[in-house]
Each structure stands twice: as C-alpha cells, then as structure tokens.
C-alpha cells in the first residue's frame, strides 16, 4: 500500500468524522437523543477528558483547565509519534495490513485532536441551545475544545438478579460508552493489529529472518576460512 492510498484513507475518515461532529454540534442541543433503532441512538455529549471521560484532574492535584491543556499537548505529541510510525512502515514497504491499521489509528487520533485544539474557538456553547459554527462568542480557547461524541449502542439494558453477589439489583447496560467515528477508527486499527498480528508484521518478520540467515551464513564462511 503506497502513501497516496494511505493519505486518501486518512482524508476519507477525517471528512466523515468532522462532518458528523459539525452536523451534531449545529443541529443538536447537548444531551439531545434520537432513536435510530432500539439498540442504536444518536446521543450528543461532549468529552472534556480522555477515553471514557477520564480527567487528569481526577488523579492529579491540578485544575481541570491545566489537566485539559496537558492532555491536549500529550495528544499532539502522540500524533507526531503515530505519524512518524506511519511514515516508517510505508517507507519500509511493510504489509498492507499494518499500513491500513496505522493509517486508521492516525486518522482517528487526528480527528479527535482537531476537536481538542479548535472546537473551543469556532463553536459557542451547546447548553440549552444549538451551537453555531464560527460563533462570535466561542465557548473556550485554543487547545481547550471538547471532543464531540454521538454514537450510542445500548444493546442490553437489564437489571442484575438479586442473588448475584455485589451487583444484585443494579442496572446493567451494554454497550454504555458514547463514542465517535474517530474513536471507531482507532479501535478498528488497534483491533486489526491484535487479531491479525502475524499478518501485519509478516514482512518485518521475514526480513529479520533473512538478516539472521545471512549473518549465520557469513559466520559459517568465516569459520571455514579459519
């Protein structure tokens, strides 16, 4: 897979991701929900933290704003790291599976960092009103944007039986997290690496074996000369 195809895949994911987020921001009030099926809803929420809404301020003695800034800067460094990884695997002509997986991870990470960096200065608040794009009254500052999530799949909504230890009588819902297209791309890329690990790294393993065999052959020839 060459760099052009990788870039096209990344651009396609970014377009779908950003279009869906901008549409939700400019058509939904925060917390608004639309039922698509019984097991699939469009639910507009905003995530100020990391995965599952976790915040650095929950585990470190820092303010929410400082924690948000640190998280955004960390994501920027991560983007550069993933970008270099993608460049490296393409340059080495690694397996198509590996390039696709890394491209998906890069596209997803970039999609969410766009929210974190820019959304605070291009949208107004979504509380009790539909936000406007390029608002004259933005809700935040550069690097302080909130990630837009909207995909919700409550496929199972039940109550644990009373006899179940620890959880008896409590509500059980699967799948509870709300996510977006960028999250889906990242999860898909990671899933490909986990499920198709041998196929993804096959070319690199073959090259390592070739280098090892060449080294062993060279050592044997040197031994014969002695």
Other CB atoms within 10 A of residue 193 CB: 18
Active site residue 149: yes
Active site residue 220: no
d(CA 40, CA 153): 5
- Answer whether 138's CB lies under 8 Å from 45's CB: no
35, 58, 125, 149: which is the annotated catalytic residue?
Answer: 149
Tokens of 22: 């901008």
CB 14 within 8 A of CB 111: yes
Q: Which two tokens stand for residue 86?
A: 């993608």
Please tell me which residue in 17, 183, 219, 222 is annotated as part of the active site.
Answer: 183
| 50-71 burial code (b ≥16 CB/10 A, e <16) | eeeeebbbeeeeeeeeebbbeb
Q: Return the active site residues.
A: 149, 183
């Amino acid at each position: 897979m060459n760099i052009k195809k990788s870039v096209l895949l990344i651009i396609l994911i970014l377009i779908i991701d950003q279009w869906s987020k901008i549409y939700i921001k400019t058509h939904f009030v925060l917390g608004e929900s639309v039922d698509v099926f019984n097991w699939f809803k469009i639910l507009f929420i905003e995530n100020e933290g990391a995965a599952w809404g976790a915040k650095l301020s929950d585990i470190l003695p820092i303010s929410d704003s400082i924690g948000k800034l640190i998280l955004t800067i960390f994501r920027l460094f991560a983007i550069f790291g993933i970008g270099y990884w993608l460049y490296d695997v393409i340059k080495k002509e690694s397996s198509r599976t590996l390039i696709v997986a890394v491209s998906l991870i890069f596209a997803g990470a970039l999609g969410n960092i766009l929210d974190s960096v820019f959304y605070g200065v291009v949208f107004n608040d979504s509380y009790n009103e539909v936000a406007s794009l390029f608002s004259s009254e933005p809700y935040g500052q550069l690097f302080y944007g909130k990630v837009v999530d909207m995909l919700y799949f409550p496929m199972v909504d039940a109550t644990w039986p009373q006899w179940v230890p620890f959880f008896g009588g409590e509500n059980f819902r699967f799948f509870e997290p709300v996510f977006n297209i960028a999250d889906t791309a990242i999860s898909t890329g990671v899933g490909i690496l986990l499920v198709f690990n041998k196929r993804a790294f096959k070319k690199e393993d073959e090259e390592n074996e070739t280098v090892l065999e060449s080294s062993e052959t060279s050592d044997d020839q040197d031994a014969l000369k002695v």
